[in-house]
Each structure stands twice: as C-alpha cells, then as structure tokens.
Amino acid sequence: MRLFINACVRRASRTEYLARELIQRLGGAWDELRLEELDFPKADEAFLLRRDALLARGEYADPLFAPARQFAAAETIVLAAPYWDLSFPAMLKQYLEQICAVGITFRYTPEGIPEGLCRAKTLYYVETAGGPFAPDEFGFGYVQALCRSYFGINDVRLVKAVGLDVDGADVNGILLEAAENMDTLIHEDYKEGKTSC
C-alpha cells in the first residue's frame, strides 16, 4: 500500500498539484488520506490517559490508532503540505501526534532509544511557498527528523517550489521546473544531504 497524506485545503492548491504530479511519476495504486476530513480528538488529560492505557495493554487494533497503523503499513509515502507560518498547517501537527504510537510506528530499545517500526523506506515531502524562501528546518526539517529518529524512515526527500506569490513570478514556470526535477529525485540513489529538488 502506498499512502498520500494530503494536508492541502485550497481547491486550486499548488502543493497538491505537485504532489499529484509526483504520484503519477511514481506510479502504482495509492490510498489518499485528506487530513481536513479527520476529526482529531481533543488532546486533554482524559484522552491522553485513555491512549496511554490502550498502548500499555497492546490494544493496537483500537480505532484510535487507525492512522498510525495505516502509516506504519505504507510502502511509500507522499506527504503534501503548504508552507504556512514558517511550518505547515496545524492539522499536520495533529496528525503526526496521532501516529506517534509506541508499539505501532516505533518502540523504545532497552536503552530508551526510539526504534522505527514503519515499513516505508522513502517519504517524499512536497511543499510550496508564496515567498522566495522556505527554511527547511521548520517544516520539512521537523518531518525529516521525526521520520529518521522515530519511524525508521531514513530516506526523506523534498520537492519544493518557492516564490510563487512574488510580483511578476512565472508561477507556471516555477511549478513546471519543480515537476521536471522530480524524475531526477525519484531515480537517484539517496545520499545524505541531497534531499531537495
């Protein structure tokens, strides 16, 4: 199963456009998860106590963990999120909190070090920004660190198009260039530090 995590909300989302171009190039059948359609539970103390108790008892089949099970089982993942306020939409943070489930997406070694349990070898992070820059450390960097440190997904690749709302920008040209660079990104062997297109 291949998973498309869609954190785009605008009808004419440029981020979603790039993500669908990437999915077409990757080929195969994909399950799509639109984050705007999820009802995230209120993360109050009662919820946390219930969640911790379920995990402690190993009740991973509970519906609460359906997103985590889906993420852990995916062979390849495309995550599309526009660059908002130096990061990504809040619903993506809520989703990431939901899938960080001990015993499903990761476990702790006897030394207390997280060890990934996810099947995916590669996650593609797709983002666009209206401004001329999108510092990797805040949006993409956060997801990359989480994937590598917790989920065991070390190959995290970035597809990015920036400067789309700058006066006089050739929006179509910028998007086309990002799409054309995807082929190189898909087919190159992963190298540390070479994660963007």
Contacts of 108 (CB under 8 A, 6+ apart): 102, 114, 115
Are 139 and 104 spatial neighbours (Cβ–Cβ below 8 Å)?
Answer: no
Closest to 116 in 3D by CA, of 147, 157, 77 = 147
Asked, for residue 127, whether it belongs to a domain, the answer is yes
Q: Which residue range is the domain that position 174 belongs to?
A: 2-187
- Look at residue 82 and tell me if it is in a domain: yes
Beta strands in 129-172 (DSSP E): 155-161
Give the count of domains, the chain: 1
CA distance 116 to 94: 20
What pLDDT, on the 0 to 100 scale, is given for residue 27? Answer: 96
pLDDT at 190: 56
Does residue 10 belong to any structural domain of this protein? Answer: yes
> Using the 8-state DSSP alphabet, how is residue 150 labeled?
I
Question: For residue 50, how many other CB atoms are within 10 A of its CB?
Answer: 13
Query: Does residue 17 form part of some domain?
Result: yes
- Residue 179's CATH number: 3.40.50.360
Contacts with 77 (C-beta within 8 Å, 6 or more apart), sequence order: 2, 3, 4, 5, 71, 120, 122, 123, 124, 153
Provide the phi-psi class of 86: left if phi over 0, else alpha when psi is between -120 and 50, else beta.
left
- The type of residue at 97 is E
Q: What is the mean pLDDT of residues 182-193?
A: 75
Reported in sequence order, the residue ranges of 39-110 that DSSP labels E, i.e. its strands, are 76-80, 106-108
45-104: pLDDT as tens digits: 999 999 999 999 999 999 999 999 999 999 999 999 999 998 999 999 999 999 999 999
Question: What is the predicted pLDDT for the residue at 189?
Answer: 67
pLDDT tens per residue, range 14-25? 999 999 999 999
Residue 197 lies in a domain: no
- Nearest CA among 55, 190, 34 for reference residue 123: 190
User: How much is the pLDDT for 31?
Assistant: 98
In a domain, 100, yes or no: yes
pLDDT of 89-143, one tens digit each? 999 999 999 999 999 999 999 999 999 999 999 999 999 999 988 788 889 999 9
> Which pLDDT band, with edges at 50, 70 and 90, does 197 fall under?
very low
Q: Is residue 192 part of a domain?
A: no
Spell 12-33 as b/e; 16+ CB within 10 A means b. ebbbbbbbbbbbeebeeebeeb
In a domain, residue 193? The reply is no
